[in-house]
Amino acid sequence: MKRDPIKLLQALVRIDSQNPPGNEKAIIAFIAAYLKSFGIASKIYEFKKDRPNLICTIKSRRPKKAVLFTPHVDTVPVTGKWKFPPFSGTLYKGKLYGRGATDCKANVAVALALIARLKKEKAVLNNLDLVFAFCADEETGSYYGTIPLSKRLKGIDYGVVLDADDFNIIVCQKGLLHLRVELFGREAHGAYPERGVNAVAGAVYILKEILDKGFSFSAHPLLKKPTLNIGRFCGGDKVNIVAGYCFFELDIRYLPSMNKKRIISQIEAIIKKQKIRYKIKVLAHQGPIEISRDTPSIKILRTILKERHINAKLSPSFGATVINFLEARGIESFAFGFGAKGNAHAKNEHVRISNVYKGVDVLFDYVHRLDAYFD
């Protein structure tokens, strides 16, 4: 088994774990074999065929607390024309290229390299159990990964979601609200539109007002403003038929000063002006998150980064991470990681080699410092 973190990352990148279609079986098998080479037992949880998750635990001498480190092992699909083959793990000018290099296999490699280093140096912590969860299905909602897996996690005090860039610490996150709005008009001959109720025309007026009016909110120092994306629009059957049905889907990322109920109420008020039957369905929802900067888990990490002259920031997440699902289980969590900013989901995805080596050092210091805190 490869012990060098970069060679390890190359091996991980060369395993295709694109989601969709979604098949993490090969990469989880690799991780299980890697851990076994150090004599570390692991447990597999599979909530859908060929979509396994893996958990392993490194016990301390007299457990007082437990910290969870969790990266995901799936990637988005390969798109665009690449400078290097996307599953090659090519090294070029201080960077490693490949799909998942930043999101999120660099974090997987650092977590595994940390385990290897602890074993190599026979470092046994006194008070802090280390739990590692390598999860499937993050890129399409975590329905076969963190969501069901988190219910199996018992006795975890702190969570570190390894899914961030450039050593930044994610301390707040926008809420996510995906809505499908269906409009029910009345069909008629296209030459006599006045005889029908055009659902497509209604949707156009509704969407224009939503875009023009926006949502009411209070400013946030890190999260900026809420966003709205019209992700899907579908309606009508034929050019000479008044469209009797239409639907559109909205991706709304909202601030802590906002709430789901109020957002939907604002949209309903706009729809009702068109005097058309409608139905709103919530496709997905995660509430916004604000994380205390004063917890020992974050303060200790910031001290280590400062000592190592790593200019990391307390940062927001404008997208969605799995922090929500851990917080919902009562696990005090934040996100952290070693990727390269602007590379997630992009063609020519890469990570800086130096980030990977530094990442192992930082986490090694971190678990020892956090362990000592509980003496």
pLDDT (tens digit, 9 = 90+) per residue, 87-132? Answer: 999 999 999 999 999 999 999 999 999 999 999 999 999 999 999 9
Residues 235 and 154 placed together within one structural domain of the fold: no
Q: Residue 41: CA atoms inside 13 Å, Cβ hemisphere, count?
A: 2
Residues 107 and 194 placed together within one structural domain of the fold: no
- Contact yes or no for 57/153 (Cβ under 8 A): no
Token pair 């497509």 in the structure block, residue: 200
- Contact yes or no for 104/71 (Cβ under 8 A): yes
Start-to-end Cα distance in the chain: 35
Residues 222 and 278 placed together within one structural domain of the fold: yes
pLDDT (0 to 100) of residue 1 = 55
Residues 344 and 304 placed together within one structural domain of the fold: yes
- Residue 40 CA to residue 120 CA, distance in Å, equals 12
How, if at all, do strands 332-336 and 158-162 pair? parallel
Token pair 């001498």 in the structure block, residue: 61
- 216-266 tens-digit pLDDT: 999 899 999 999 999 999 999 999 999 999 999 999 999 999 999 999 999
Determine which helix (DSSP H) or strand (DSSP E) holds 227, and give its type and residue range: strand 227-235
Q: Which residue segment(s) compose the domain that 12 sits in?
A: 5-173+289-373
pTM of the model: 0.89
Residues 22 and 139 placed together within one structural domain of the fold: yes
pLDDT (0 to 100) of residue 318 = 84
Number of domains in the chain: 2
Residues 6+ apart with CB under 8 A from 181: 203, 206, 247, 248, 249, 250, 267, 271, 278, 279, 280
- Residue 278 CA to residue 207 CA, distance in Å, equals 14
- Contact yes or no for 251/233 (Cβ under 8 A): no
Read off φ and ψ for residue 46, nearest 5 degrees.
-125, 120
Residues 191 and 265 placed together within one structural domain of the fold: yes
Residues 31 and 169 placed together within one structural domain of the fold: yes
Choose the final residue of a domain: 241, 265, 286: 286
Residues 169 and 211 placed together within one structural domain of the fold: no
Residues 58 and 168 placed together within one structural domain of the fold: yes
Choose the final residue of a domain: 235, 262, 286: 286
Here the CATH number for the domain that contains residue 45 is 3.40.630.10
- Residue 114 CA to residue 110 CA, distance in Å, equals 6
Residues 33 and 158 placed together within one structural domain of the fold: yes
- Residue 150 CA to residue 336 CA, distance in Å, equals 18
pLDDT (0 to 100) of residue 320 = 78
Residues 108 and 54 placed together within one structural domain of the fold: yes
Residues 271 and 310 placed together within one structural domain of the fold: no
Here the CATH number for the domain that contains residue 246 is 3.30.70.360
Determine which helix (DSSP H) or strand (DSSP E) holds 209, and give its type and residue range: helix 199-213
Ranges under pLDDT 50 in the chain: none
- Residue 319 CA to residue 345 CA, distance in Å, equals 12
Choose the final residue of a domain: 253, 286, 319: 286
